[in-house]
Amino acid sequence: MERLRVGFIGTGRKPERPGPQGFGMSHQHAQGYVDCADQCQIVACADIVPENAQAFARQWEIPATGVYTSAEDMLASERLDLVSIPVWPRLHRPLVLLAADAGVRGVFCEKPMADTWEASRDMAAECERRGVRLAFNHQRRFGRPFRTAKAILESGRIGRLVRVEFGTGNLYDYGSHSFDLSCYFAGEQAARWVIAQIDYRTERVVFGTHNENQAYALWQYPDGVYGVASTGEGADLIGCHNRLIGEEGEIEVGRRGKGMPVLRHRRFDGGGWEVADCGDEGVHGPGYVERAVADVVRALREDRETELCARNALHATELIFASWESSRRRARIDLPLQIDDNPLEAMVASGDLRPQPAARP
Minimum CB separation from ligand NAD for residue 21, in Å?
7
For residue 91, state whether it binds ligand NAD (rule: CB under 6 A): yes
What SS3 state is found at 215? strand
**Stretch 123-152 residues interacting with ligand NAD (CB under 6 A):** 137, 139
CA–CA separation, 212 vs 232, rounded Å?
8
For residue 23, state whether it binds ligand NAD (rule: CB under 6 A): yes
Among 4, 5, 6, 9, binds ligand NAD (CB under 6 A): 9
Minimum CB separation from ligand NAD for residue 139, in Å?
6
For residue 80, state whether it binds ligand NAD (rule: CB under 6 A): no
Nearer to ligand NAD, 10 or 145 (CB): 10
Cβ neighbours of residue 114 under 8 Å, at least 6 residues apart? 89, 90, 92, 93, 120, 123, 317
Cβ-based neighbour number of residue 261 at 10 Å? 16
Nearer to ligand NAD, 88 or 193 (CB): 88
Cβ neighbours of residue 167 under 8 Å, at least 6 residues apart? 229, 230, 231, 234, 235, 236, 237, 238, 239, 240, 241
For residue 71, state whether it binds ligand NAD (rule: CB under 6 A): yes
Stretch that binds ligand NAD, among 85-93, 183-191, 195-203, 343-351 (CB under 6 A): 85-93
Nearer to ligand NAD, 50 or 336 (CB): 50
Minimum CB separation from ligand NAD for residue 65, in Å?
18
* Phi, psi dihedrals of residue 187, rounded to the nearest 5°: 95, 30
Amino acid identity for residue 354 in this structure: R
Cβ-based neighbour number of residue 329 at 10 Å? 11
Count of residues in contact with ligand NAD, rule CB under 6 A: 26
> Mask of contacts with ligand NAD, 94-123, x by CB under 6 A?
----------------xx------------
170 close to 207: Cβ distance less than 8 angstroms: no
Minimum CB separation from ligand NAD for residue 64, in Å?
18
CA–CA separation, 199 vs 206, rounded Å?
16
262 close to 253: Cβ distance less than 8 angstroms: yes
**Stretch 156-175 residues interacting with ligand NAD (CB under 6 A):** 173
Is the peptide bond preceding residue 286 cis, with omega within 30 degrees of 0?
yes
For residue 12, state whether it binds ligand NAD (rule: CB under 6 A): yes
**Where does the chain have alpha helices with state H?**
25-35, 50-59, 71-77, 92-101, 117-130, 144-155, 175-185, 288-301, 310-329, 343-350
For residue 24, state whether it binds ligand NAD (rule: CB under 6 A): yes
Among 7, 66, 89, 143, binds ligand NAD (CB under 6 A): 89
For residue 25, state whether it binds ligand NAD (rule: CB under 6 A): yes
Ramachandran area for residue 4 (φ above 0: left; ψ -120 to 50: alpha; else beta): beta
For residue 282, state whether it binds ligand NAD (rule: CB under 6 A): no
Minimum CB separation from ligand NAD for residue 48, in Å?
5
CA–CA separation, 190 vs 238, rounded Å?
22
Nearer to ligand NAD, 81 or 110 (CB): 110
Minimum CB separation from ligand NAD for residue 185, in Å?
18
What are the distances in angstroms from CA 6 to CA 27, 44, 296? 14, 7, 12
Among 184, 207, 216, 219, binds ligand NAD (CB under 6 A): 207
Among 42, 46, 96, 309, binds ligand NAD (CB under 6 A): 46
* Phi, psi dihedrals of residue 6, rounded to the nearest 5°: -110, 135
Interface residue list for ligand NAD (CB under 6 A): 9-13, 22-25, 46-49, 52, 71, 86-89, 91, 110-111, 137, 139, 173, 207
